[in-house]
């Protein structure tokens, strides 16, 4: 007969290290003392649900940091003509995006009544001011130099976003790679000012049509095009989920940062990163 007092316990194996003095530990490696003490509710008295609000946004920022890390390396690999490695990093971005989208369901448990009890304590802080989110949009092609003014009081953030403004986008690097592979990418695209937002170029659509209608001749480029579409679709799903979460939580109130709130988020759904990759679908099979 087993001892009922220990039947539901797992024995501590002899090889497990328990003397952790002067050793690197799980907590020290991850800097958990600092990470887990970085939640500072400002509501007085402290509202229970403010912790949810803080952690939701902090974890989003951690994932955005990783997205930027992966997008940066994907662009480096494309510039080095290493498409396979670039696709690996793009695939990782897609999985991160799925997690980010799913996270909205947690914040959506915050009811309008609950949020109203501490929203006024947030001042003008707003997700609109997220430098990492803005950097992701820049990396994908939605550049807006006027956004730099939001970060002029924070030199480090301003420098980071300025560097992203001046760097070729993921799409830029892909199209440059395709040109080096011999495809007739229009010079107006290859020579464009990368500080400007990417705009639709009708002259690129026939080039992409060639890739899509002859996938066996351009298989890796064909795959890359679909990976890019996946990234944009996922970004739009995230935007839409954000919109719906805000709608159910604050309705049509003005945003804490001064934006029009829901209307501002709605307009973002009209923005696109890789317009020709959607336009080409109309041409295939014509």
**Domain contains 59:** yes
**Domain contains 143:** no
| Mean predicted confidence (pLDDT) in 73-86 | 98
**Domain contains 3:** no
- Binding-site residues for heme, in ranges, read 242
**Domain contains 17:** no
**Domain contains 209:** yes
**Domain contains 22:** no
Q: What is the mean pLDDT of the chain?
A: 95
The total number of structural domains that make up the chain: 1
pLDDT at 186 > cutoff 70: yes
Supply the pLDDT for residue 4.
56
Q: What is the pLDDT of residues 113-164, one digit of tens each?
A: 999 999 999 999 998 899 999 999 999 999 999 999 999 999 999 999 999 9
**Domain contains 69:** yes
How far is Cα 111 from Cα 119, in angstroms, rounded to an integer? Answer: 12
| Mean predicted confidence (pLDDT) in 201-225 | 97
| Mean predicted confidence (pLDDT) in 182-202 | 97
pLDDT range class, residue 5, cuts 50, 70, 90: low
Residue 196 belongs to a domain with what CATH number? Answer: 1.20.58.480
Supply the pLDDT for residue 11.
85
pLDDT at 46 > cutoff 70: yes
- Binding-site residues for substrate, in ranges, read 53-57, 115, 119, 256
**Domain contains 1:** no
Q: Token pair for residue 11?
A: 């024995």
| Mean predicted confidence (pLDDT) in 1-20 | 77
- Binding-site residues, in ranges, read 53-57, 115, 119, 242, 256
Range of the domain at 58: 48-125+169-281
């Amino acid at each position: 007969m087993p001892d009922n007092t220990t039947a539901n316990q797992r024995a501590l194996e002899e090889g497990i290290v328990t003397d952790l003095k002067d050793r690197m530990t799980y907590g020290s490696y991850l800097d958990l003392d600092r990470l887990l003490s970085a939640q500072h509710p400002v509501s007085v008295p402290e509202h229970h649900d403010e912790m949810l609000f803080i952690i939701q946004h902090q974890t989003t920022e951690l994932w955005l940091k990783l997205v930027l890390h992966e997008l940066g390396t994907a662009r480096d690999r494309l510039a080095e003509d290493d498409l396979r490695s670039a696709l690996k990093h793009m695939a990782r971005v897609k999985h991160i995006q799925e997690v980010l989208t799913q996270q909205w369901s947690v914040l959506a448990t915050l009811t309008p009544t609950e949020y109203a009890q501490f929203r006024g304590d947030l001042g003008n802080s707003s997700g609109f001011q997220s430098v990492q989110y803005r950097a992701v949009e820049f990396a994908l092609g939605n550049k807006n130099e006027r956004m730099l003014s939001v970060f002029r009081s924070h030199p480090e953030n301003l420098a980071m976003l300025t560097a992203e403004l001046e760097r070729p986008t993921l799409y830029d690097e892909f199209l440059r790679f395709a040109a080096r592979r011999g495809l007739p990418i229009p010079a107006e695209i290859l020579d464009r000012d990368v500080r400007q937002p990417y705009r639709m170029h009708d002259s690129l659509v026939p080039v992409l049509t060639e890739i899509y209608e002859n996938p066996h001749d351009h298989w890796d480029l064909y795959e890359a095009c679909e990976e890019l579409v996946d990234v944009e679709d996922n970004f739009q799903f995230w935007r839409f989920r954000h919109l719906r979460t805000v709608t159910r939580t604050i309705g049509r109130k003005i945003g804490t940062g001064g934006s029009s709130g829901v209307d501002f988020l709605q307009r973002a759904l009209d923005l696109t990163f890789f317009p020709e990759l959607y336009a080409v679908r109309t041409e295939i099979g014509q």
